[in-house]
Chain A
Amino acid sequence: MAVPAALLPIVGPADDALVTAQRLGQWCSRAPEMEEDVALTNIALDQLGTARLLYSLAGELEGAGRDEDDLAYLRDQRDFHNVLLVELPDRDFAVMIAKLLFLAAYQCDLYRRTAADPAGGPLAAIAAKAAKESAYHLDHARLWTLRLGDGTDESHRRMQAAVDEVWPYTHELFEAVPAARADWLSTVEPVLARATLRRPADGWAPTGGRAGRHTEAMSYLLAELQVVHRAHPGARW
């Protein structure tokens, strides 16, 4: 079932967070070191927690009896409004870090602006909590970007390839609020520079995620996410 247009400002970021949590969760037991495994799954849980709060709020405001589980598990691909960036497969560790860097810089800024809105109500409260976590996610991605970019020849090559691959998908983040891109660039560009990475040129800007038009990867992701719930509708643990 589709999401009412008025709720897209809540559901879009919620979907970003849910899909990110799902992608990061795939690193569980597959990270290069145990400590990194714990760090990534912690970030995944933070993102999932934010998604749950946002979905619950959206369900309440919609007033059609949908709760967080209905929104996460029973919507089809066309009704998901995450940006394409978060659904991209994590081809390697560098790609995952590049995606996290760009996303966290965007989320940090978005949550801070939302939390600062005096008329924000429960949404501002959720954003305030998420903003603190987001700062940590950004920090984690930043530290890894610096180490991989300004690292060995192989890590530099992989990190540059990751940044080049992911950069076009960042434009979609600023379709709604183009003015926010300046702040985002001022966060992201210094990190790339210090990591001795080349900031890609702006050009191709794939889009469609916010409108429900997703890449092939999204269907596999949703299938894995939703299959258990859909196989046992109404089940309780």
Chain B
Amino acid sequence: MPDPTPPTGTGRWPLWEVFVRPRRGLSHSHVGSLHAPDAELALRNARDLYTRRQEGVSIWVVPAAAITASSPDEKDSFFDPAADKVYRHPTFYPVPEGVPHL
């Protein structure tokens, strides 16, 4: 039986956000988060937790503390002003055919 040492470290393992690029994708998407003591183990843990069913071919792990996120409370004031600025959308001219990734 494993030695039941009292748990100590969870508070000291920082949180990491995980981004995975699927096999047929072009960009990494956020898939979740995990705790790990450092970047190398975070990458290994991400592989175990988030690519178990071959979801991806590339993994990024980023310390959660390094991410600055917009606040959900400020969603309205942050994004609303753009809602009625129709001139920002390229809808008034035909898109040329054969232009890649437009």
Contact = CB atoms under 8 A, between A and B. Distances in A.
A139 B43 CA distance: 12
Interface string B1-42: 111110101100100000000000000000000111110110
Interface residues of A, number: 21
Contacts of A89: 1
Given A143-B40, A147-B37, A32 B7 contact: yes
A91 B5 CA distance: 11
Nearest to B45: A35
Interface string A170-182: 0000000000000
A98 B4 CA distance: 18
Contacts of A42: 48, 52
A27 B3 CA distance: 10
A42 B35 CA distance: 17
A202 interface: no
Interface string A87-131: 001111100100000000000000000000000000000000000
Contact of A33 (B2, B3, B35, B40): B35
Contacts of B38: 147
Contacts of B5: 32, 92-93
A44 to B, nearest CB: 12
A39 B3 contact: no
A139 B10 contact: no
A182 B4 CA distance: 36
A89 B3 CA distance: 10
Interface string A35-58: 110110010000000000000000
Contacts of A30: 2, 4
Contact of B49 (A27, A35, A90, A139): A35
Given A38-B48, A42-B48, A143-B44, A26 B36 contact: no
Interface string B44-65: 1100110010000000000000
B3 A92 contact: yes
A61 B48 CA distance: 35
A140 interface: yes
Given A90-B2, A147-B37, A39 B48 contact: yes
13 contacts: A27-B2, A30-B4, A32-B5, A33-B10, A34-B35, A35-B45, A38-B45, A38-B49, A89-B1, A91-B2, A93-B2, A139-B44, A143-B44
Given A39-B45, A39-B48, 4 more contacts: A33-B13, A39-B44, A42-B48, A92-B3
Interface of A: 26-27, 30, 32-36, 38-39, 42, 89-93, 96, 139-140, 143, 147
- 9 closest Cβ pairs, A-B complex: A92-B3, A35-B45, A38-B48, A30-B2, A39-B48, A90-B2, A35-B34, A42-B48, A38-B49
